[in-house]
């Protein structure tokens, strides 16, 4: 979220995630966020009345939503097609006419609204085509999606404000004005300003434009969402839906996915995509009978949507996910016909790109995950066991002493002390990966997954998940690049914060240019966050 120093926020956004999504083990998928204290005093109580693609492909975020045969062509048809766990609202942001907003995450703002801090926008263009426009995100539950008195959609955080609308003739999302406040160490903040008339574009230390946007937005109408995907008798609409599955008591790690291929069949799939179990199912109101793997295997479950964004299934016994009650998070951007968890990038908070090429508009390269292992697997393991990373890589558990027999690094005590440091697991090491070598396990105290790290360096083990992928850069994306400042006695490594539209591609000075500062943009690794196939957050990984 953008409620801290921006450069810190960007790093946290990729390690703690932003919004609900299975790949992002987000704190906002926790039920705790349903009761987050509201921090914004700009909100009124008025209710607004109104992919699995080929790895090298890019996504057109303004694609015609009704271009596929049988796809919804009206708002009413789109609402009827939504699944349990989704919600919708009308908002007059299409030049005064209604657009349809859809979300999989709502919360009670305690002021009479079922609000949301993210929403996908659909609009009817002037030629009566239903078009998916974009997805907007706010700075957390304190700043829900809102509409101004002059029918603009307002997205806020503690340090940013954006005023936008949908252009009726084209269905394009038009950012009319935006200002982002950037804090740099103890210095005065900088303001990245933009207006589509060009009058306010640039970076300044003057807060006038930033302050004026808050005043200009006036009284805000919090968008009030209505529950979708539930029939009058309580029957949930599952067909065509993709759900991330969580243990109701632990929203930090997903248990896998439920994919409902049709009104009577579907399949489960693990996070790494390596294991699937087909199932048939029958519905009778809220009561559902599943047949996992075989018609002879029957498991009864009861559906409950008291928490509309995270409905539950309670099985009569221990279900296929080894718990009697599971919570479901609907992945609104996922297609059951083509869903692949490995290449479902939306809100994946463990996604890196090794950049091969880039320009002002896009990055191209290979995609990686940092190898991580659930802490419960680590705590339960014995020497000689094989434990698996979240991405399905097998690792053999091996003792420090056995590794040192091969490496011959001083005494066993010296070897173990030098490997462990302060954040590493002291029980054992693991062997595996593409190099079939030895690695340590490390995590912060608050984390629930161990990262796989080199023995004597800070380098983390990466897993290749896709090659030659191109992502466009959203104009309002957050970018952090590293640069060296050479003006002092020593070269100083600093962060450069950039808004997407400010990005200059390969025109940043390099070491060979002999300037006062230089960037290290060749062969970059970037932590990235993707929404609708576009880059929304980009943070360079420093590689010494």
SS3 labels along 122-187: EEECCCCCEEEEEEEECCCCCCCCEECCCCCEEEEECCEEEEEEECCCCCCEEEEEEEEEECCCCC
**pTM, full prediction:** 0.84
Using CA atoms, how far apart are residues 79 and 87, in angstroms rounded to an integer? Answer: 9
pLDDT tens digits, one per residue of 116-141? 999 999 999 888 899 999 999 999 99
Q: Please state, in angstroms and as integers, the Cα–Cα distance from residue 349 to each residue in 16, 455, 483, 526, following that order.
A: 7, 24, 24, 12
Please, which pLDDT band fits residue 55 given cuts at 50, 70 and 90? very low
In this prediction, residues 215-221 reach a mean pLDDT of 83
| Residue indicated by tokens 């243990």 | 247
Tell whether the model's pLDDT for residue 339 goes beyond 90: yes
Using pLDDT thresholds of 50, 70 and 90, give the confidence band for residue 184: confident
Residue that wins the pLDDT comparison between 24 and 467: 467
State the pLDDT at residue 510: 86
Q: Once rounded to an integer, what is the mean pLDDT over residues 152-158?
A: 94
Q: How confident is the model over 401-419, as pLDDT tens digits?
A: 999 999 999 999 999 999 9
Task: For residue 83, give the nearest of 188, 228, 270, 225 by alpha carbon.
Answer: 228
Does residue 113 register a pLDDT over 80? yes
What lies within 8 Å, CB to CB, of 30 at 6+ separation is 251, 252
């Amino acid at each position: 979220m953008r409620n801290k120093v921006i450069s810190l926020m960007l790093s946290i956004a990729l390690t703690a995630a932003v919004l609900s999504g299975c790949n992002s083990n987000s704190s906002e998928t926790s039920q705790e966020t349903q009761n987050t204290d509201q921090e914004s005093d700009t909100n009124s109580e008025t209710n607004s009345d109104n992919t699995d693609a080929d790895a090298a492909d890019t996504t057109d975020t303004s694609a015609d939503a009704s271009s596929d045969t049988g796809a919804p062509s009206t708002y009413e048809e789109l609402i009827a097609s939504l699944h349990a766990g989704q919600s919708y609202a009308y908002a007059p942001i299409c030049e005064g006419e209604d657009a349809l907003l859809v979300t999989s995450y709502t919360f009670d703002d305690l002021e009479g609204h079922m609000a949301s801090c993210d929403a996908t926008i659909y609009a009817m263009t002037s030629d009566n085509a239903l078009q998916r426009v974009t997805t907007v995100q706010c700075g957390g539950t304190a700043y829900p999606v809102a509409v101004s008195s002059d029918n603009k959609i307002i997205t806020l955080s503690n340090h940013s404000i954006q005023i936008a609308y949908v252009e009726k003739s084209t269905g394009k999302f038009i950012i009319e004005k935006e200002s982002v406040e950037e804090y740099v160490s103890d210095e005065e903040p900088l303001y990245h300003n933009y207006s589509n008339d060009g009058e306010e574009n640039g970076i300044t230390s003057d807060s006038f434009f930033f302050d004026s946007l808050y005043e200009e937005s006036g009284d805000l109408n919090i968008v009030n969402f209505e529950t979708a995907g539930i029939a009058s008798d309580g029957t949930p609409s599952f067909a065509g839906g993709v759900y991330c599955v969580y243990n109701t008591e632990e929203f930090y790690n997903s248990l896998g996915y439920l994919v409902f291929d049709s009104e009577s069949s579907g399949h489960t799939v693990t996070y790494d995509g390596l294991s699937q179990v087909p199932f048939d199912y029958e519905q009778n109101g809220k009561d559902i009978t599943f047949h996992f793997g075989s018609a002879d295997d029957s498991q009864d479950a009861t559906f409950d949507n008291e928490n509309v964004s995270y409905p539950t299934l309670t099985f009569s016994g221990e279900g296929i996910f080894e718990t009697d009650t599971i919570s479901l998070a609907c992945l609104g951007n996922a297609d059951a016909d083509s869903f692949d968890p490995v290449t479902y990038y939306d809100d994946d908070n463990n996604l890196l790109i090794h950049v091969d090429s880039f320009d002002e508009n896009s990055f191209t390269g290979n995609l990686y995950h940092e190898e991580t292992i659930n802490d419960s697997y680590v705590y339960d393991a014995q020497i000689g066991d094989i434990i698996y990373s979240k991405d399905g890589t097998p690792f053999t558990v091996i003792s420090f002493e056995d590794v040192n027999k091969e490496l011959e690094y001083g005494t066993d005590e010296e070897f173990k002390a030098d490997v462990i440091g302060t954040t590493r697991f002291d029980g054992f090491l693991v062997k595996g990966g593409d190099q079939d070598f030895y690695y340590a396990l490390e995590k912060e105290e608050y984390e629930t997954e161990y990262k796989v790290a080199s023995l004597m360096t800070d380098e983390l083990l990466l897993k290749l998940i896709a090659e030659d992928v191109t992502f466009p850069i959203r104009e309002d994306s957050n970018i952090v690049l590293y640069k060296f400042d050479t003006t002092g006695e020593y070269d100083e490594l600093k962060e450069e914060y950039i808004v997407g539209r400010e990005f200059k591609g390969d025109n940043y000075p390099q070491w060979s240019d002999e300037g006062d500062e230089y960037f290290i943009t060749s062969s970059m690794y970037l932590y990235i966050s993707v929404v609708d196939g576009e880059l929304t957050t980009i943070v360079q990984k420093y590689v010494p």
